[in-house]
Chain A
Amino acid sequence: MIQGADANLDAAFLALADPTRRAILARLTQGEATVMQLAEPFEMTQPAISRHLKVLEGAGLIVRRAEGTRRHCRLSDTGLASVDRWLELLRSALSRNYDRLDGLLDAMNSGKEKE
């Protein structure tokens, strides 16, 4: 299960390693959008945008659905915005900070803080 989560996170990193895909994702945090709406701000063809959407979908970050001839996209419930993933990011940032703070407090205890 842990390995599956890692593979999913790796796919998410790959999906996010591209500025266009990050911009698409930022747009989707505002709510659902059609492929045409997503393509608007970019100088890109719709097929090019669709390729990016396919990568985001493959990483489990977005969900696509068809409504007649229109295709809609939204953020996936279990994707980037999932609570577990966010908590993991918070945990890693805080751990790094507090380990650094241990060092600082140690220096304060040794009276070296104003070195």
Chain B
Amino acid sequence: MTVSKMTLKTEGDRFVVVTRRFAATPEQVYRAHTEPALIQKWLLGPDGWTMPVCICEARPGGRIRYEWANPDQGGFHLTGEFVALEPFRRIVHVERMFLPDPTPDNHVETRFEPDGSGTVMTMRMTLPDEQTRAMMLASGMEHGMEASYARLEGMI
């Protein structure tokens, strides 16, 4: 199994670029990003979350809907649409989270390039505005940081 070597950097003040290498073919990594049964196994965020609903119509104009659930925290969801797909090479889509109000559209381009026997994935996304960052952070803390709460509560 590969060691995690993700890079994440901002591009100007409008974009974020993430790169990550996987020990699998571009076809496999692309499928893991477009087939619901595979997406449901990894696109889960912090431990303890599941994705009971995963709609991913991998064709231009196709719908995306991911619903996450956690027994202790309730849930939230994301919707989106595919803009362009080049099988095993490139995905362009738009998505927004509902927290519960919709965040502004996040435009995402994901590329998969062969790298030896593996794949380098490059994902370029929109950097959310200040209000959206605040909401996502508050929500992320609420959703994913139970352990931190428990730790902090123990300190009070």
Q: What 6 pairs across the A-B complex have the smallest Cβ distances?
A: A105-B24, A81-B134, A100-B42, A86-B133, A29-B131, A101-B42
Q: Out of A80, A83, A113, which one reaches B138, CB within 8 Å?
A: A80
B61 at the interface (CB under 8 A from A): no
User: Digit string of A81-113 for contact with B (CB within 8 Å is 1, else 0)?
Assistant: 111011101111111111111111110110001
User: Digit string of B128-156 for contact with A (CB within 8 Å is 1, else 0)?
Assistant: 10111111111011101100110011001
Task: Please determine whether A102 and B131 come into contact, CB atoms closer than 8 angstroms.
Answer: no
Q: Out of A10, A83, A101, which one reaches B127, CB within 8 Å?
A: A83
B53 at the interface (CB under 8 A from A): no
* CB of A85, distance to nearest CB on chain B (Å): 6
Task: Please determine whether B131 and A30 come into contact, CB atoms closer than 8 angstroms.
Answer: yes
Interface size on B, residues (CB 8 A): 45
Q: Which residues of A sit under 8 angstroms from B145, Cβ to Cβ?
A: 13
A55 at the interface (CB under 8 A from B): no
The majority secondary structure among interface residues of chain A is helix
Task: Please determine whether A102 and B141 come into contact, CB atoms closer than 8 angstroms.
Answer: no
Q: Which residues of B sit under 8 angstroms from A102, Cβ to Cβ?
A: 1-2, 4, 22-23
Q: Out of B29, B132, B137, B152, which one reaches A105, CB within 8 Å?
A: B29
B44 at the interface (CB under 8 A from A): yes
Please give 8 more A-B residue pairs, beta carbons under 8 A apart, in addition to A80-B133, A91-B6, A98-B42: A13-B149, A29-B131, A80-B138, A81-B131, A86-B128, A89-B136, A91-B8, A102-B2
CB-CB nearest in chain B for A113:
B38
Q: Out of A30, A79, A89, A105, which one reaches B23, CB within 8 Å?
A: A105
Task: Please determine whether A108 and B45 come into contact, CB atoms closer than 8 angstroms.
Answer: no
Q: Which residues of B sit under 8 angstroms from A93, Cβ to Cβ?
A: 45-46, 140, 144
CB contact list, B30-65 vs A, under 8 A: 32, 38, 41-47
Q: Could you tell me the distance between the alpha carbons of A83 and B9 in the complex, rounded to whole angstroms?
A: 11
* CB of B22, distance to nearest CB on chain A (Å): 6
A36 at the interface (CB under 8 A from B): no
Q: Which residues of B sit under 8 angstroms from A92, Cβ to Cβ?
A: 144
Task: Please determine whether A90 and B8 come into contact, CB atoms closer than 8 angstroms.
Answer: yes
Q: Could you tell me the distance between the alpha carbons of A97 and B45 in the complex, rounded to whole angstroms?
A: 6
Task: Please determine whether A106 and B149 come into contact, CB atoms closer than 8 angstroms.
Answer: no
Task: Check A75/B134 contact, CB under 8 A, given A83-B10, A103-B1, A106-B1.
Answer: yes
Task: Please determine whether B23 and A87 come into contact, CB atoms closer than 8 angstroms.
Answer: no
Q: Offer 9 A-B interface pairs, CB within 8 angstroms, sorted by A.
A: A13-B149, A29-B134, A29-B135, A83-B10, A89-B137, A95-B6, A98-B4, A102-B1, A109-B24
